[in-house]
Structure 1
Amino acid sequence: MADARKDLGRQLAQWRASAGLRQVDLAKLICYSRSQIANVEVGRDNTTRLFWHNADAALGAHGALLAMFDHVHALVRDFHAQEVHAPDQERQQAATPPAPLTSPVTACPVPCRCGPTVVGRWTGREVRALREALRMSVRAFAEYLGVTMATASG
């Protein structure tokens, strides 16, 4: 998810540069601070949809930036929803045999250069891949997510 936010920030920087604007120029146009623009561009700041709507309009992106924000926001929302339901899912999985896997990966609907695939359903394989990509131990990853080690072990 951090990479998706960084990619979104890079897109903002590219649109801004294409428009011939400095960070301070864009900040004045959309009534935000220059430092907030800088933080968004490097993926450090999680801003609101209004920010992206204003930036999209100011840069003439015709909805591209807003669509990318909506896509990243949906990824984050789905991930957190799955975190909340993880204990219930663990109990269900322990009680029933695993269902055959359908392909959890679908094509990315937004041309955001976030990569060719998006996780549609978080299985143990995807959770493990995320943990390894973040270079975290199972214990650290579980603490980071606020779940049990069994949930995070993937």
Structure 2
Amino acid sequence: MSQAMSNGYRHEKASQDLINKLHTRIGLNKHRQNTHELGRLLRGRVRENRNLVLSLSLCMSCGACLTVCPAYLATNDINNSPLGRVALARSLMRGYINEDLIDRAYTYFWQCLTCRRCAWACPFGVDVADISRTIRSLLYEVGLAPNYVAG
């Protein structure tokens, strides 16, 4: 069990009614996907977003981002770091997506502050905030968003 899960910190998930109400308001009901299509949606976004492709392929896991990431420094959980998020995004793209992987994606991508300090510290300029925003939007599309977003 990861440290973020063991200390109980997690954004509270919005109720399905609240998500449905917001989806209706923005016209997303017709395109609603289920959670098992998250990998297919992500692969589609990767094909559309060249910056995302570069970010996922350029990360060499050197760890330069670890010393500047506020989420990692606060939790000391490698999954809650730019390195962990890149590895999680790569596994979402290539593997079988199960509930545990989706649960980890929800936990760690919504905890990213999107401050872009990782891009500043990275020798290759990998922007994990862009990856986080993309995964967040996909999680939202499949109905997984925190209360503060859906509210």
Do both proteins adopt the same fold according to a TM-score greater than 0.5, normalized to the shorter chain?
no
Q: TM-score, normalised on structure 2?
A: 0.31
Structure whose CA Rg is larger: 1
Name which structure has the greater RCO, CA cutoff 8 Å, separation 6+: 2
